[in-house]
Amino acid sequence: MSAQPLSAAPISVQPEIDVDADQVMALIDAAFGPGRLAKTAERVREASSPVCGLVVREGGRVVGSVRLWRIAVGDAPALFLGPIAVDADARRSGVGAALVEAALSCALGQAVVGVLLVGDLPYFGRFGFTALESVRMPGPVDPRRLLWRASGVTLPAGDVVGVRD
Ligand SMILES: CC(C)(COP(=O)(O)OP(=O)(O)OC[C@H]1O[C@@H](n2cnc3c(N)ncnc32)[C@H](O)[C@@H]1OP(=O)(O)O)[C@@H](O)C(=O)NCCC(=O)NCCS
């Protein structure tokens, strides 16, 4: 089940805009550290175009961010979710859940077979993600952390490659 916001106010997820870029980068750096650039997920993103970027703001400050990228899995068009990061002081109040749900809504508007990510099943399982063993990333990834949320009935297989618009 998704975490519930602590405050009564609903969490507002908004499109990322150009002026958010520095704050989003700071958030991602704080959450993942400099080692993130060496990760296989980053190789996929480098070769991709972003499809949507979403943020949550509190008092004008970005406290949460997620992005979706265009990829192909084998021959099938799909999206790659990440990174998702929430400011340490804003965690466990539903910001992450609101961002994942909004990203999945964004994916629904795209002609894709589903959404792939590298993450923890104990967190992302609540949003319908399950492990997907039939795909190959362009570098090492713990297969238990390669997760898939289908938009339809197609279960993709093959190489994961970034796609540019
Ligand atoms: C993962 C992350 C985005 C969740 O953000 P959040 O706003 O705290 O998420 P929510 O409020 O929706 O959910 C919080 C719940 O998820 C749990 N949770 C958080 N990360 C988890 C993980 N990796 N595995 C299992 N459960 C996790 C929390 O313990 C909390 O549980 P509770 O409701 O029982 O207290 C945030 O912790 C974060 O930025 N982490 C660092 C970056 C990261 O790991 N990103 C995901 C990998 S791509």
State the closest ligand 1 atom to the C-alpha of 86, by its place in the atom list counted from 1: 39
Cα–Cα distance, 77 to 24 (Å, whole number): 27
Best residue among 27, 123, 127, 137 to mutate for probing ligand 1, ranked by most atoms within 8 Å of CB: 123
Number of Cβ within 10 Å of residue 78's Cβ equals: 26
Query: Could you give the domains of the chain?
Result: 13-162 (3.40.630.30)
Best residue among 2, 42, 55, 91 to mutate for probing ligand 1, ranked by most atoms within 8 Å of CB: 91
Task: For 44-62, write each residue's pLDDT tens digit.
Answer: 999 999 999 999 999 999 9
Cα–Cα distance, 126 to 151 (Å, whole number): 16
pLDDT of residue 5: 45
pLDDT of residue 152: 81
Q: What angle do CA 48, 65, 112 make, to 5 degrees?
A: 40
pLDDT of residue 153: 82
* DSSP per residue, 57-95: EETTEEEEEEEEEEEEETTEEEEEEEEEEE-GGGTTSSH
pLDDT of residue 47: 98
**What are the residue ranges in the chain where pLDDT is below 70?**
1-8
Q: Is the CB of 122 under 6 A from ligand 1?
A: yes
Global pTM reads 0.95
pLDDT of residue 8: 57
Category of 74 on φ-ψ map: left (φ > 0), alpha (ψ -120 to 50) or beta: left
